């Protein structure tokens, strides 16, 4: 996997690139550099939502905390083996960033799975995505991004049927808490990606999250965690929901500002609804389809705004 060699103006250059592309010829469009990170985000979103749907089917076997433990533990082992992160040569600030990233990751996963154990997958993701949406409003420096955030927010509430009064209140609280941790995840994933080469910081943060959550999983599930079928399904959830999407998102955040990335996360309810329909047999209503259209329109608008901004700056520099 390779990443473009030049960072966007709002993102610091990353060290230890996995690869780089040669500069584009003069006058050639720079679409690959602009749209590549968007593709990474979308691929990660598809993977994490289908992994989440699979996790729901695993909960009767291992419990919510047990599923999170398996997800984090397997993901940490895979990433540590693949990345072999260097433990020496990092500053105290580097370690502080990666530890906070790991804490945010553990909290986000734990709260979200506690939520989907009580309320359906679609509404849970719909509530959770409010965290990134609020972040997009706070982090944005352009007025037009407020419009896209508002459009996505309207879609989020429409996807929830205009209200959440029929849902388990504790499940709603867990989903909102997961959203807050998701916003923190976005911020510290970007900082970790700038401080550590390749995916080393992600591997270390995942190890931190796994260590923090292991006692909770053992207390709730005990010997169920070592059942061969449960382990196999947990490994699949880890790969789909953690290893692949977190790696893709970390690479994308090296090239996208947090505000644009956060608005792209508004696609998650639509992806979750699709995964719920295909895996959990949860049909889409007309209002849910309309909501999907709104969040897709908001995400497309955010991407076009970012691409147009990049082209305008390049045109100004050329002149």
- pLDDT of the residue at 96: 93
Nearest by Cα to 298 from 252, 267, 256: 267
Is 170 in contact with 140 (CB distance < 8 Å)?
no
Q: How many CB atoms lie within 10 A of CB 16?
A: 10
Rounded Cα gap, residues 132 and 24, in angstroms = 33
pLDDT tens-place string over residues 92-121: 999 999 999 999 999 999 999 999 888 877
- Residue 12: predicted pLDDT: 32
Q: Among residues of the chain, what percentage have pLDDT more than 70? A: 76
pLDDT, one tens digit per residue, over 249-287 is 778 877 777 667 766 766 777 777 777 777 777 666 677
pLDDT tens digit sequence for 148-202:
778 877 877 776 666 666 678 898 899 999 999 988 988 898 898 888 887 888 8
Distance CA 142, CA 135 (A): 14
The structure tokens listed for 90 are 């990092």
pLDDT confidence of residue 148: 79
Supply the mean pLDDT for the chain: 76
């Amino acid at each position: 996997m390779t990443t473009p060699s030049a960072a966007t103006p709002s993102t610091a250059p990353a060290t230890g690139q996995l690869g780089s592309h040669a500069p584009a010829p003069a006058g050639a469009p720079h679409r690959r550099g602009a749209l590549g990170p968007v593709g990474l985000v979308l691929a990660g979103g598809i993977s994490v939502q289908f992994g989440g749907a699979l996790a729901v089917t695993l909960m009767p076997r291992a419990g919510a905390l047990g599923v999170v433990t398996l997800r984090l533990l397997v993901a940490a082992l895979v990433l540590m083996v693949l990345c072999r992160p260097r433990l020496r040569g990092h500053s105290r600030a580097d370690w502080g960033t990666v530890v906070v990233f790991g804490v945010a990751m553990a909290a986000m996963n734990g709260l979200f799975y506690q939520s989907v154990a009580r309320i359906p997958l679609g509404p849970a993701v719909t509530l959770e995505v409010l965290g990134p949406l609020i972040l997009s409003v706070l982090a944005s420096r352009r007025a037009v991004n407020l419009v896209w955030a508002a459009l996505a927010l309207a879609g989020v509430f429409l996807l929830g049927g205009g209200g959440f009064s029929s849902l388990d209140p504790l499940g709603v609280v867990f989903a909102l808490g997961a959203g807050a941790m998701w916003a923190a995840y976005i911020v510290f994933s970007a900082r970790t990606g700038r401080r550590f080469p390749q995916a080393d910081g992600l591997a270390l943060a995942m190890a931190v999250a796994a260590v923090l959550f292991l006692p909770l999983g053992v207390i709730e599930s005990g010997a169920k965690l070592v059942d061969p079928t449960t382990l196999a399904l947990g490994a699949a959830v880890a790969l789909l929901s953690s290893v692949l999407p977190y790696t893709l998102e970390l690479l994308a955040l090296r090239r996208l500002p947090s505000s644009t990335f956060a608005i792209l996360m508004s696609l998650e309810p639509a992806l979750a609804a699709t995964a719920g329909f295909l895996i959990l047999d949860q049909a889409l209503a007309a209002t849910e389809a309309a909501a999907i259209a709104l969040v897709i329109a908001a995400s497309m608008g955010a991407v076009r705004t970012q691409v147009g901004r990049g082209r305008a700056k390049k045109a100004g520099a050329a002149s």
